[in-house]
Amino acid sequence: MEYSKASVVSVREIAPSIYDMLLKAPGIAKEARPGQFICLYSEDSAHLLPRPISICEVFPDHVRLVFRIAGYGTKELSLKKEGETVTVLGPIGNGYPEFESGKSITVVGGGIGIPPMLYLARKLHENGNEVNVVLGYRDAGLFLNEAFAGYGKVYIATDDGSVGYHGNVVGLIETEKLPVDTVCACGPMPMLKGLAAYTEANGGKAYISLEERMACGVGACLGCITKTKETDGHSHVKNKRICTEGPVFDSSELDFGGAKR
């Protein structure tokens, strides 16, 4: 993992305030695994902290990122033009575990937690797994749903009922009786908490990616800790850094009472 300059191939808006960016970054593309992320640095020295963005897809020399404008940094990224460069660090984090082939795996993304699930769904499909994809959106402003279709059966839930199942992803999974032996997910904390509880209650394993607020992104500041159920004799709590020990955790390790969102 090292700092590098990635050149911008394209940036386009694919849904309101959601941007799809293709970067030429051969070093990152070569190493990236599903569930990892990269840190992108602002050109403006007043904004020193990097913006962590998940790897959405990987091509031989390129990585695709899909992000929502949330503040200064993501706005700056959305305005990048073809040929400009951005300083990046990565790939960072553990990513999803490597599963044996022939398993039935349910991949779940909610809102801006959807992008990292695309590369995961592709890899699982290529590895001979049966993939069910469950995507949760607020409303009809869908994005990336068509890209998943090549990798598994896609189910859509919307909060307002405008497309697909009216309700959340857990309700959809329950209604459709989708398998939850192995679930991989990324999305807002209430979704992850509900999904983990449902999966564990049905005897399955959930691997969830926590896209929490970060600062340094490289394990140095403890700005991203999450509470786990592990204890040690000294402090009696075992916090983990999402940036280096995550962002993907086995949900049974986590103490959701300590989650920040």
Ligand X SMILES: Cc1cc2nc3c(=O)[nH]c(=O)nc-3n(C[C@H](O)[C@H](O)[C@H](O)COP(=O)(O)OP(=O)(O)OC[C@H]3O[C@@H](n4cnc5c(N)ncnc54)[C@H](O)[C@@H]3O)c2cc1C
Q: Name residue 218's amino acid.
A: V
CB of 156 to ligand X, least distance (A): 19
Are 34 and 123 spatial neighbours (Cβ–Cβ below 8 Å)?
yes
Omega into 247 within 30° of 0, i.e. cis?
yes
User: How many other C-beta atoms can be found within 10 angstroms of the C-beta atom of residue 240?
Assistant: 18
Q: Which is nearer to ligand FES, 150 or 219 (CB)?
A: 219
Q: What are the distances in angstroms from CA 185 to CA 134, 143, 190?
A: 9, 17, 12
Exactly one of 40, 173, 210, 243 binds ligand FES (CB under 6 A); that residue is 243
Site string for ligand FES, 194-223 (x = CB under 6 A): --------------------xxxx-xxxxx
Instruction: Based on the shown chain and the rule CB under 6 A, indicate whether residue 149 belongs to the binding site for ligand FES.
Output: no
Q: Which is nearer to ligand X, 28 or 178 (CB)?
A: 28
CB of 51 to ligand FES, least distance (A): 12
Residues that bind ligand X (CB under 6 A): 37, 49, 51-54, 67-68, 70-74, 112, 115, 211-214, 247
Instruction: Based on the shown chain and the rule CB under 6 A, indicate whether residue 240 belongs to the binding site for ligand FES.
Output: no
Element (H, E) at 146: helix 145-148
3-state secondary structure of 147: helix
Site string for ligand FES, 103-142 (x = CB under 6 A): ----------------------------------------
C-alpha span between 157 and 167 (Å, rounded): 6
Residue 1 touches which of ligand X, ligand FES, none (Cβ within 5-8 Å per kind) = none
C-alpha span between 208 and 245 (Å, rounded): 13
Helices (H), 162-253: 169-175, 189-201, 242-245
Residue 216 touches which of ligand X, ligand FES, none (Cβ within 5-8 Å per kind) = ligand FES
Residue 57 touches which of ligand X, ligand FES, none (Cβ within 5-8 Å per kind) = none
Element (H, E) at 186: strand 182-186
Position closest to ligand X via CB? 71
Maximum distance among all Cα pairs of the chain, rounded to whole angstroms: 54
Interface with ligand FES by CB under 6 A: which residues? 214-217, 219-224, 241, 243
